[in-house]
Amino acid sequence: MKTITLIIIILLGSLAYSLTLDGKRVDIIQTAAHPALDSTYKGIVDELAAKKIEIKFANAQGDLNLSNQIAKKFISEKPDAIISIATLASQSIANSARNRDIPIVFSSVTDPAGAGLDKENMNITGVSNFIKLDEQLALFKQILPNMTKLGFIYNPGEVNSVKILESLREISGKYTIEIIVSVASKTTEVSSASNKLIGKVDAIFISNDNTALAAFGVIAKIASNAKIPIFVSDTDMVESGALASLGPNQYELGKQTANMLIQILQGKQVKDLPIEYPQKIELVLNQKIAKELVIKFSDEILNKDRRP
C-alpha cells in the first residue's frame, strides 16, 4: 500500500495592514511535480503568506489511486477550504467532496466543463489555464512557415489533453498542419512516444498534459538529438528545452487562485465566484535553442515577447 506523505507548512506572514485569516487551514493537493505546476503552487503560497493560514500539502505524483486517497483524507479532516492543482487532483477532490460544504478552488485545469467541475450543485470554482489554440498555432506557423506536421504527445486518460487534441484537429487544417499523435499513458512511456515521432514531424507540441510535462526532460533530450523544435503551452518549460511558448504565467495563475480562495475564506459564496481564466499571457522564446536549431526569430516575433 502506498504511503501518503503530507508536508505541513505554517505560514507566519507579515503583520501587514490586510486582514489576516489566522486559524484557518487550507489543504492543497497537486496532481504531479513539474515546473509549471510547481510554479502555480508557489504563486498560491506566496499570495497566502500574509494571511497567516496553515497549509497542508500533498502531491499525487500523477497517480489516480494516490490522488483519490489524498482527497478522501483531506475531506475527512474538514479543512476550511481545499485547493486542487491540475485536473486529476481536482477531479479526485470534487468526487470525494460531493454533498459536503467544504469549498474547493481548483487551479490550472484546462477544461473545467469536460472534467465535470462546473456543476451547479458542487461547492467548487477556480482558475483555468486554457488559452486559445488558434493563437498558439498561428505563432508556431509564424516561427516555422514550412511546418506541415506537428507531433502531439498526450495521455488519453487526461481529460484536458483529450479536449486539446480534439480542438487541435478541428483547427489545424486552417494552418495546413497535420497533427501526428503519440500516446504516453504514464511517464515511463514518454520516451517511446517521443521516439515514435522522430522522422515523422517538423516540430512537437506539448500542451497541458501532466504526464508529458512530468517527463519533459526526456522529450527535450530526444528532440534535441534529432534537431526537432518543441513548442509548449507552459512558459515555465521554455528554459527546460522548448523553443517557444505562448501561455499563461503559471505563478500569476497561482496568485489568481489564492485570491479567489481568500475571498471565500472572508465570507464570499463559491456560487458567486465564476470560473476565471488567465489574466496574464506571455510569449517566451528560447534564443539558445533557436541558435542550436538554426532558427531565426523575426523582429515581429521578438517584439511580441511578453515577458515582464
pLDDT of residue 63 exceeding 80: yes
DSSP secondary-structure letter at 4?
Answer: P
5: confidence class by pLDDT, cuts 50, 70, 90: very low
In the chain, what are the domains?
7-129+249-279 (3.40.50.2300), 133-248+282-302 (3.40.50.2300)
Largest CA distance in the chain: 59
Which residue from 72, 63, 76 is spatially nearest to 96, judged by alpha carbons?
A: 72
- Amino acid identity for residue 214 in this structure: A
Which pTM value belongs to this model? 0.81
d(CA 125, CA 271): 8
Q: What is the pLDDT of residue 308?
A: 42
Pairing between β-strand 244-248 and β-strand 230-232 as defined by DSSP bridges: parallel
- pLDDT mean over 170-177: 97
Separation of alpha carbons 83 and 106, rounded Å? 5
Q: Which residue has the cell 500500500?
A: 1
pLDDT digits (tens, 9 = 90+) for 270-284: 999 999 999 888 999
**CA distances in angstroms from 185 to 55, 63, 74, 79, 215, listed in the order given:** 31, 11, 27, 33, 12
Q: How far is CA 95 from the centre of its chain?
A: 20
- Percent of all residues in the chain with a pLDDT value above 90, rounded to a whole number: 78
Q: What is the rounded average pLDDT of the residues 176-184? A: 98
The stretch 211-238 carries a mean pLDDT of: 95
Report d(CA 304, CA 299) in Å as an integer.
9
Contact 107, 44 (CB under 8 A): yes
Three-state SS for 258? helix
Residues 6+ apart with CB under 8 A from 31: 37, 60, 62, 67, 85, 86, 87, 88, 89, 90, 210
